[in-house]
Amino acid sequence: MFEPFSRLGDKRIDDETFLQTLGALLDPSEGSVALRYCGLANAAALLWWYLPDLNWAGFYLRDDDGDIPILRLGPFQGLPACTSIPFGKGVCGTAASTGLPQVVADVHAFAGHISCDSASRSELVVPIFLGGDPRPGGAIGDPSQAVVGVIDLDSPLAGRFEVDDASFVERVANVLGEKLFPYQSAS
């Protein structure tokens, strides 16, 4: 299954090939939580393999069981991490509550940053939207309503992430939202 790839950290493909590979790797979840986790686990591994200079790569997923939406730890690569982040808290919760990517050049300068690995110096968090579309049906409204989770990338290097990285990871989020969080599986 993984013939095109060799070893972790061996970046021999480009962004387009990465996105095609990711799409081909994902079975549409069609509402199955187990399949969703399968896809996200492989997506975390693929991101970890492809992107250099990371110390954490993974997902936080929306949980609406409480009074306010909470992000819960999903599949990831890296050290064990905090399990629950309320919308609006930390870098992840800010991306979720605003529906906007967060490019943080220096995590120590981000008020409210939640430290899971003391090695982290910079961070990129990108929201994943239901159906992969930030504005379902073209409706203008609160984008956080459509956020189903976030992609979180941490680096031990300050200023590791640029606007181009955010654009690429948004395309990754679109693929994941479309395949693993289709509109009909909204809960």
> Binding ligand SME by CB under 6 A: which of 40, 91, 130, 172?
91
What is the Cα–Cα distance from 147 to 127, expressed in whole angstroms?
Answer: 6
Nearest CA to 159 out of 113, 185, 121 is that of 121
| Least distance from ligand SME to the Cβ atom of residue 16, Å | 28
User: Is 85 among the residues that bind ligand SME (CB under 6 A)?
Assistant: yes
What is the Cα–Cα distance from 144 to 8, expressed in whole angstroms?
Answer: 34
DSSP label at residue 54: -
User: Is 44 among the residues that bind ligand SME (CB under 6 A)?
Assistant: no
| Least distance from ligand SME to the Cβ atom of residue 23, Å | 25
What is the Cα–Cα distance from 128 to 116, expressed in whole angstroms?
Answer: 21
Which residues 128-147 are close enough to bind ligand SME by CB under 6 A? none
| Least distance from ligand SME to the Cβ atom of residue 94, Å | 7
Is the distance from CB of 15 to CB of 167 less than 8 angstroms?
no
**Residues in contact with ligand SME by the rule CB under 6 A:** 56, 81-82, 85, 90-93, 113-114, 116, 120, 123, 152, 154
